[in-house]
A and B are shown apart, each in its own frame.
Chain A
């Protein structure tokens, strides 16, 4: 079986700074994969390269076998890759429901169809009860979930989530984990950028670890957690499990 997303020797440098260095990994359909690493490891850059927000300086990204590394973000989205932003970006003058409707207009021009899709998206992240609220009335975890709902309305095959758990309390994060698990059970492929290790262990079936822009490990959460290079990158040299 070919991978849904295939990242091959991806590199990105900003001037002299190499943010992502020769990273390769593949995502299998229907799984939750996590991209982890300490701050500054290049996770978000890697993520922006896949989403089309940045162009790589080297390497390729294939989605369903088609190269997408030079495709602009709106077309990447229309091909079936939806993303969220690390810093939540609700459209502030629009209600929660209207925010969630925008994504649906990537595949329909029918307002009623968009509205019912938006309701479904909100429902699947547990926000249906707040559909008429203004976005500035939402709590942080709700805003994070609104970002996911907006992305879901585009009917993606692959959902890219950038640090949806960051800044959440453990109980709130547990709620998000349940939402992600339900989405994955429904057949959605998810790539998660995260640095809260505990959550990654719980939710991801596969983990890719970046450090200083390069991939240092890949495997199941338990394999990765035992990897000495991973421990070193997180905890410093000299630490051994």
Chain B
């Protein structure tokens, strides 16, 4: 795994990030509708990838059922909006709360009984599948028929988070920026240090006074709550939600493709990974349709994933950082000091 840039007074990544987002903002004003909707999905999955990345890349806890938390946010927004006409802002808050609690309870139960590592990951799949089956039969949340938001209008209603594709693009852009800034702030705070220590060696971290039990629960609850926000916006963007479209294994995997391809535990990895993977998926899907080869996108997806894992095991972003350092050597190099004679 590649070390991220760190250290307090390093503002270069912030500047680079701000520039990327300025370009994306301008692009949002100019690009055509297809590109806009594609990029909205890329940015939303950047945010969801951040959420997942916080949990595994920094906290060391693997979730393969992240769609559960995404769906809890999506359903909170959808149920309040569609059934009661309550603003999605409230829905997002409710979703954060429900998903955060679900994450915390799942984590507490799991770690209380010493279920950890890959077994915890299996438990997250089980929880997501359980929820999918439950929601599929639950009439109140639309069961298999799902829930449909009111038809999109061109009038932008900020209080109800309603607007055209461009509006959602900017919402997603703001969310992705928030995710990146938030991840960076968390990883520079004491939580970042404590969580990375816990990720690298739990026993050693405990010996240094890290209360890993509560920190594992905390990182999972925060990750779950942020995933719910992404899920709520995703539901609004898609205009409808069904248990199978938002809760299955598929969405869980979609969430983790970005950070895995882009670079686990890095701040910009999920953005880079989503930028690479999602357009490719769409492109191959379109190509598959025109060539009448159904599933071509999945095959291409799989091949790219294997290639990335094979050639860039720590992801695209760390490779980019290495490349930029190779071109321009860093100013701060540590070399082994010659040993003093007296030693």
| A interface residues with partner B (beta carbon < 8 Å) | 51, 53, 72-75, 77-78, 82-83, 85, 89, 91-95, 98-99, 101-103, 105-112, 114-115, 129-130, 132-134, 137, 139, 150-151, 153-154, 171-172, 174-175
Contacts and interface: CB of A to CB of B under 8 A. Distances in A.
Contacts, number: 103
Contact of A137 (B188, B212, B265, B334): B334
Among A85, A105, A110, the one with the most B-chain Cβ atoms within 10 Å of its Cβ is A105
A216 B209 CA distance: 33
B200 interface: yes
B314 to A, nearest CB: 10
Interface of B: 1, 3, 6, 8, 188-190, 193-194, 196-197, 200-201, 203-212, 265, 332, 334, 336-337, 343
Q: Is the interface of B mostly helix, strand, loop or mixed?
A: loop
Contacts of A137: 334, 336
Contacts of A114: 190, 193
A95 B208 CA distance: 16
Given A93-B1, A98-B193, A132-B332, A105 B201 contact: no
A95 B210 CA distance: 18
A108 B191 CA distance: 11
A93 B208 contact: no
Contact of A102 (B189, B197, B343): B197
B311 to A, nearest CB: 21
A106 to B, nearest CB: 3
A171 B204 contact: no
Given A111-B8, A139-B336, 16 more contacts: A51-B207, A73-B203, A75-B211, A85-B204, A89-B201, A91-B197, A91-B200, A93-B3, A93-B196, A105-B190, A106-B209, A107-B209, A115-B8, A132-B334, A150-B208, A151-B207
B213 to A, nearest CB: 8
Nearest to A84: B207
B209 A105 contact: yes
Nearest to B334: A133
B208 A77 contact: yes
Contacts of B336: 137, 139
Nearest 5 CB-CB pairings of A with B: A106-B209, A77-B209, A91-B200, A89-B204, A102-B197
A116 to B, nearest CB: 12
10 contacts: A73-B203, A77-B208, A89-B201, A89-B203, A92-B200, A95-B6, A102-B205, A105-B193, A105-B210, A108-B190
B209 A78 contact: yes
Nearest to A133: B334
Contacts of A134: 3, 334
Contacts of B201: 89, 91
Given A98-B6, A105-B209, A93 B200 contact: yes
A99 B188 CA distance: 14
Nearest to B194: A105
Contacts of B332: 132
Given A95-B3, A98-B193, A137-B336, A103 B208 contact: yes
A180 to B, nearest CB: 15
A60 to B, nearest CB: 21
Nearest to A135: B200
Given A77-B209, A85-B204, A94 B197 contact: yes
Contact of A74 (B188, B193, B206): B206
Given A85-B207, A94-B200, A103-B208, A130 B334 contact: yes
Contacts of A150: 208
Contacts of A98: 6, 193, 196
Among B194, B196, B197, the one with the most A-chain Cβ atoms within 10 Å of its Cβ is B197
A118 B1 CA distance: 24
Nearest to B197: A102
Contacts of A129: 337
B189 A106 contact: no
A134 B334 CA distance: 9
B190 A154 contact: no
Among B8, B190, B207, B212, the one with the most A-chain Cβ atoms within 10 Å of its Cβ is B207
Nearest to A112: B8
A154 B200 CA distance: 18
A110 B212 CA distance: 19
Nearest to B196: A94
A93 B197 CA distance: 9
A94 B205 CA distance: 13
A95 B194 CA distance: 14
Contact of B203 (A53, A174, A175): A53
Contacts of A109: 189-190
Given A93-B196, A101-B193, A154 B208 contact: yes
A101 B194 CA distance: 9
A150 B189 CA distance: 18
